[in-house]
Structure 1
Amino acid sequence: MEKLPEFPFPADHSLRPSPLLADARAGGAPVRVRLGYGDPAWLVTRYEDARTVLSSPAFGRDHERAGIPADRIAGMTPADPTSRTLLSEDPPDHTRLRRFVYRTFTPRRVEALRPGTERIAGRLLDAMVGSGAPADLVEGFGLPLPIQVICDLLGVPVADRARFTGWADGLLSTDDRPLAEIGADIDEMNGYLADLAATRVEHPTEDLIGSLVRERVEGDRLTEEEVSNLVRAILIAGFETTASQVPNFVYLLLEGGDYARIVADPGLVPTAVEELLRCVPLIAQGSLTRFVLEEVEVGGVMLRPGDQVLVELAAANRDTVAFPASDTMDIAREANPHIAFGHGLHRCLGASLARMELQVALSALVARLPGLRLAVPPGEVPWHADRFVRRPKELLVTW
């Protein structure tokens, strides 16, 4: 068996990339690595190479189209959490499905959600402050904010929202869970979503699920399974991005002293969010696997059909060619063409929503809790080591 470096590379800090990623990027060419599951893959670390892989039609997300069995997909989880969703489709199906939901996530429509999101953030902080310090920012603010926003958008009953959190956590675990168990979770979630969709047929609503059920695009209608799979993709992308990054961002701002800068100048919030997105990739390491569909050269390496590729966003977003002083977090950085939300065809559909929620969360915190600080030393913050998406298990804060 070919001796390859194991990926993810070891890192000494939950929010800082492994030095081995910088070494790989300095080498220029993609690096062959072995992951916890599936076949080996090529690891891409340079910014321009990453943009090429994420946007070129020579790469796809549909493993069946690439002739790769599901049990050979290179990944950090035993099964792709996005399987059978918009995130695992290629054109023409991807194009057709994306059109159904795109206009829900336009910047203009998302901006209309900002006042409601601000009210949710205010209520959550009222409750957290009312319970007294120290408080867990993950459970008290980071998790409930995006789940309330996305469930309001979808039209999920309040009483069922805890189930959604559990499903999302299970699907994004990197533990060695049996594939049958993961499949059962997906089927249970899809069954629940199908029931919600069915009620919209008899009782139409203006929420996103109601829109997907009734809306036609050029005479086309979504099937029941497609509605369920689209909603599952939206939930995973729309919930996890903010739920994980709120505590991640706050930890890094408090640890480095930049939180006080934003308290003094709240106008820094937009650039701070973009810089934090650049510096703190959502996925622990790597990205969703791409499959080579036709022979293509990347970074001097000829990739062939059937090869698998991971784009390392953390390395690409710290490429000095694209970002001067790339290892320095500058919350006032203006030119910031990061690819935290991906690039090209599969760029995150909910990027505008996540960006708005992160801005609201940070603005609400610095306005309400200007004296916020960690209640434990930074080195004692516990981190999830068994999740596809990084975040602390808890983040105890005081004020």
Structure 2
Amino acid sequence: MSRRPDTDMVKSFHESSTDLLASPLVVAEIVTRWHAMKVLFDLYCKESVRSSYLADWETSWNCSPEIAGEDETAGPFTKGICSSFAQLPPQEKQRAYQRFYRALTAHWVAVELTWVIRVSKHKTEREFNRWERKVYDRWSNNPERSLEEKLDIFEVLDFVWYFLVSQIFDHSGTVADWIEVTPESATPHGFSPLDLYVSHVGGLRHPSRLQLNFHEALEDDCTGMFIDDLRSIIRPPHVIELLLRLAWDPKSQSGFDRPQYVRKLGVLDQTYQWQQTKADGFRTYHVTMYDIDLPDRDILSSLTATAFRAKAEELWHLTTVDYTDSTINEMQLELFREQWECYKEDPWDTEMRGEIFFRQETHIQLFERIIDLEG
């Protein structure tokens, strides 16, 4: 593994200076990302991809993707833009991409921060826990983001990090095709990287070698966990690159070193936990893994805050329904969670999924779509 970044790097990454953000290099990178990421937005607007995303694929929070048909992502520039986007005036089209890009880069930053925290060298356990909590809160409880932004991120996660990633890996072999199965000098005691990885995801205290009859488990449980790990660290450029290599241009798979690609992504950075002995009296590999529940909690925190602000009459005059104070007094966090879960299971699919970027709604309108204060 390459040299681990120290805490100063973590701090500079999390708290960027004004001079850094205004530098010509950063500005050029922002412009490049703005144009490059439009490939993913074009896919989002493409009718053939959209039909699969909306109709044939289970939502990420159900955790059981079933992709029907083939070649739904067979190229980013073919004709067939969905009517929801095509009928928008130019200014609204630009605003739709701005929201998509904002949500995409917001989660991208969270992914980068999580990787940095995972592999960083921290001076004390307290320092490690403090940075871990900052990253965790960025995903699960971020009051600086509006409800619209949080719902936008939720949609981008579902489309890019779940739907497209599932498309990429649906026919790309098992975890054994992506992680080395033979021992190498960097692994301890003659274990292969795959031995270490499977031991790691299995929660073993010490690494062990795979059994000869482990093939079925590799195809099922371990491959699923491997894809989940990828989702927690994969960046949008990697999604585009892997679509090009594995979906749009199969010829480019020739000479594609999958294990090396996975290593560069950082998937294996945590699998060498047995080599990282107790530095300064603690270990730093117990980092909370990202999952779809974290943005869920962030959305729930906004819904709860809005309801209680309404209770305090701060937003009372903006609501369109005549609520009584007694009904709000009965609201509890569990009820909000239940209403959000119910909304995701059905109304989200018909009202928001594939449509959220193509219309403008106020904070209160979004809130009242999801929460019924009289319910």
Q: Verify same fold: TM over 0.5.
A: no
- Which structure carries more helix by proportion? 2
- Which structure carries more strand by proportion? 1
- Which TM class, normalised by the smaller chain length? under 0.3
Task: Give the structure with higher Rg (CA).
Answer: 2
Using structure 2 for the length normalisation, give the TM-score.
0.28
The structure, 1 or 2, with the larger RCO (C-alpha pairs under 8 Å, 6+ apart) is 1
